[in-house]
Amino acid sequence: MQEVDDEFYERADEHINLSNSQVSESIGRGKVSASFMYSVARFNAWISACGWSNSQEMAESKKETIEYFVNEYRKMLEENFDDYIDNFEKYMNVKDENKIVCTKHGSVYTTYVCSHLINGENKEWYSDNPDEENKWPDAWCGGCHTHYDAEGEWNAESESSAGVESIKMLCHKCYEELKSKCNVHYLED
């Protein structure tokens, strides 16, 4: 990307504000984005035309000029994507109730695992099969599983006999590390 002048970001913000003002219930973000991209393409075609004396010169430089604009756009899009990835919660105003700060891994998702697995007392890992909706299902050891199995589910009786107090919160990265050291058994659907 070329060096930017002092008003570069102010001009960009004005275009963004205009686009944001066009979003409504009947005109979604996708349609506004398409119009915005079209207008940028149209403006850049005009800017390019201003640099040539005739259509033949413009046609001869078409490929090189388009490559320039596409490469610059790619750099800007990658920069902004990275910025949104790094600041997602802040920019998107996401307050994830399922996050904790792990002393080892930083900001992570919460999971729940029985303390017998955490303490290494039992290496038999039982849980539901992970899926897109629940990547880190609650997990318990083989000993606790006998109580689950006796009732066929977790309920007041099985939780009481297994000792509900043995369930501990763990970060999802610690969960994955612990799981990798165990014999894993997924429950049948």
Taken in order 67, 72, 73, 75, the sign of the CA dihedral is: positive
The C-alpha atoms of residue 187 and residue 128 are separated, in whole angstroms, by 5
Given 52, 75, 91, the domain boundary residue is: 91
Residue 1, in any domain of the structure: no
pLDDT tens digit at each of 189 positions of the chain: 567 888 999 999 999 999 999 998 889 999 999 999 999 999 999 999 999 999 999 999 999 999 999 999 999 999 999 998 888 877 776 656 778 888 888 888 899 999 999 998 889 999 999 998 889 999 999 999 998 889 888 888 888 888 767 789 999 999 999 999 999 999 975
Residue 47's pLDDT is 96
Whether residues 58 and 106 share a domain: the answer is no
Whether residues 82 and 23 share a domain: the answer is yes
* Type of residue found at 73: Y
Contact indicator for 185, 124 with CB cutoff of 8 Å: yes
Structure letter (DSSP) for residue 29: H
The C-alpha atoms of residue 142 and residue 10 are separated, in whole angstroms, by 61
Number of domain units in the chain: 2
What is the extent of the structural domain holding 136? 99-186
Whether residues 81 and 111 share a domain: the answer is no
The C-alpha atoms of residue 17 and residue 20 are separated, in whole angstroms, by 5
Distance of CA 31 to CAs 17, 25, 27, 80, 181, Å? Answer: 15, 11, 6, 20, 49
